[in-house]
Amino acid sequence: MIAPDLRKQILTTALAMNERGLNQGSSGNISARHGHGLLITPSALPYEQCTPDDVVWIDGEDKVHGMRKPSSEWRMHANIYRSFPQAGAILHAHSMYCTALACLERSIPAFHYMIAVAGGDSIRCAPYALFGSDELSAGAVSALHGRSAALLAHHGMVCFAVDLEKVLALAVEVETLAHMYLQALQVAGEPPLLSRAEMDAVLERFKGYKP
């Protein structure tokens, strides 16, 4: 079996994603870079039923290896890895608060300084595209330019980090920010935002900080 320990880590992270309320059932997906390709959770199989053998290897030529079908979003994962060399792991989920904002086609602006955890002064929302499509992949890559997290309109969220532990932590942080932003909108409409200069100062302070 190729990379048995990494396969186990992927499944452990997928279970933790569901346990922390970031995802439900077999929706969402997690991958890790492996050589010139990636290892990704299988399609339509509850994580509780998965074994390391069920994790699918997709090589650098997009050839699928394994006894299961890969997640329908494998193209998005593959293209994110190709576009962002610093990405070592990717998490895509239909988390409640990120998805609520995504269904409103709203990005998350600089209402709180921790927006900088995703690398910029906003967390963008990519345009809607059919799940599993090249258009969805292209939109996600564009929304992630200069960022490590994005919303996907009428769909969910996606983020990347250097490894599985850090990508789960980032996803939790982004979902928390989405929750806070939605609550702020309910109380007073659009909240006041930090200026570009204020966010630049935060981003400078965040250099070297990896969630």
Phi, psi angle pair for 64, to nearest 5°: -90, 130
Calculate helix-pair angle for 164-188, 4-19, nearest 10 degrees: 20
DSSP 7: H
**Active-site entry in 19, 48, 61, 73:** 73
Q: Which residues of 30-54 are buried (b: 16+ CB within 10 A; e: fewer)?
A: bbbbbeebbbbbbbeeebeebebeb
Cα–Cα distances in Å, from 97 out to 39, 49, 110, 179? Answer: 27, 27, 17, 5
Q: Are 67 and 54 in contact (CB under 8 A)?
A: yes
Q: Does 61 participate in catalysis according to the annotation?
A: no
Annotated catalytic residues are 73
